Structure 1
Amino acid sequence: MYTDSHCHITDDSLYSRIDEVMDHIKEEKITSLMVICCKEIDFKRALVLKEQYPFIRIAFGWYPGDALEIEEQNYQLLIDRIDSLDCIGEIGLDYYWDDSFKDKQKEVFIRQIQIANEFNKPIAIHMRDATKDTLDILREYSQTKIIFHCFSGSVETMKECLKMNSLISFAGPITYKNARQALECVEQCPMNRILTETDSPYLTPVPFRGKQNEPKNVSLVAKKICEIKQVDELTLCSQIENNFNLFFK
């Protein structure tokens, strides 16, 4: 019933109790899940999980904050593993923590978009305090489908994103008290372009904010969207699952 389009369950903090996490996923009726892998060990763990849980999709890409560490061998690893990937991500730009290596971030971002284009793989985008540069690069280089992960921009930015071949994914922050801008985006985003996610183990939704997040909490994100858009949960979740599945066709 529920879709978590972006989670990090192969991160050490969740993988250390992965059986419990997967039990919760089944109990909460999460039927679509994309595991985001930012390191090779995460990807190897995701492959093992997918053998046991076929509903898992795998994304693998080099995170913008790690751009200084990325060399040619890292791109080759993506190419070598491309047949096992449903998506390349999360990739993009992040100037929030450190904007001293913008050029290197752009280089890594563009190169991964080019790999996605070559192998016709969609991309999952991380965009933080770097909206103009991210969108400019996508407009110039991207040729495949796009998920804007954990969208936190303005309505105007969202509309620019929607002009691309994209889906807008919302996470736990839409449940926070200061989420006025995010709520406006949810309200104005067409139903056939919305996804839900947790970004677990991060961004835990209310009322569990402050505790470790996991995919089971995606139901809280879905319920908030239902409240904003005034639709019933079954209708919303069916639409989101359909959006997610069509994205990969």
Structure 2
Amino acid sequence: MSKLPLDKWVESIVDALETGLKPLFHVISVIIEGIVNGIANTFHWLPALVFIVLATALGYYLGKWKFAAFTAIGLLLIDNLGLWDHTVDTLALVLTSAILSIVIGVPLGIGSAQSDRVRGIVTPLLDFMQTMPAFVYLIPAVTFFGLGVVPGVIASVIFAVPPTIRLTNLGIRQVPEDLVEAAEAFGSTSRQKLFKLQIPLAMPSIMTGINQTIMLSLSMVVIASMIGAQGIGADVYGAVTQIKTGEGFEAGLAIVVLAIVLDRMTQHIVRKNRRGSNV
């Protein structure tokens, strides 16, 4: 039995896209690089202690003193290890991936919730995106955008956007039908029903999806460092290739601290949204 030339078909499609859409890829690259550099430069401009104080204050507002204490101690530890600048670069990469995932994922989730046909198209694509090994995303990202931060962000978005789409769809579909019927009975338009009823009630679910997206984006940090993305992932990757256990442990600890801080912040935001929706 002869082998199907699937690899040749895929390569020919990629080559055609690379040739035909090169100007579009250049525009996307400029936009993404501008967002990452803007966020990173803003964070670098702030002194580390000022940033830590602001993050601690936000932690206290969201989760009271225990979370604030952990945020302060964790970020001070990162600064003491000499990994502050790389942590800031990583945070800029993660936030850019999260922003793009929200911009793409929330509208697609809303569309899936409002149309079974859209959901039927989107769901198989999400299944494919979530089961494909993360390393595979690096190949087309590097092909279209070269090495550096941009392909790392693109790969992170592809890997991380499915939870936002799924949970936005789920949250809107779980809005009680009697509330939707009541809104329609009072003459609400589809737009009013969506923005004044469905999205506010679905916000805890949407925020949970965003939380998962942020965590998945952070998990791509080390993988993205293999194609030139800067940050803590580059320290981890360098420690692995040079077998430097101590440096790898320090970089891994910085990633863990950053992951916990981001995770707890978004979780506390979810809880506040749930309390607000129950009022």
Q: TM-score, normalised by structure 1?
A: 0.24
Between structures 1 and 2, the one with greater strand share = 1
Higher radius of gyration, 1 or 2: 2
Q: TM-score, normalised by structure 2?
A: 0.23
Between structures 1 and 2, the one with greater helix share = 2
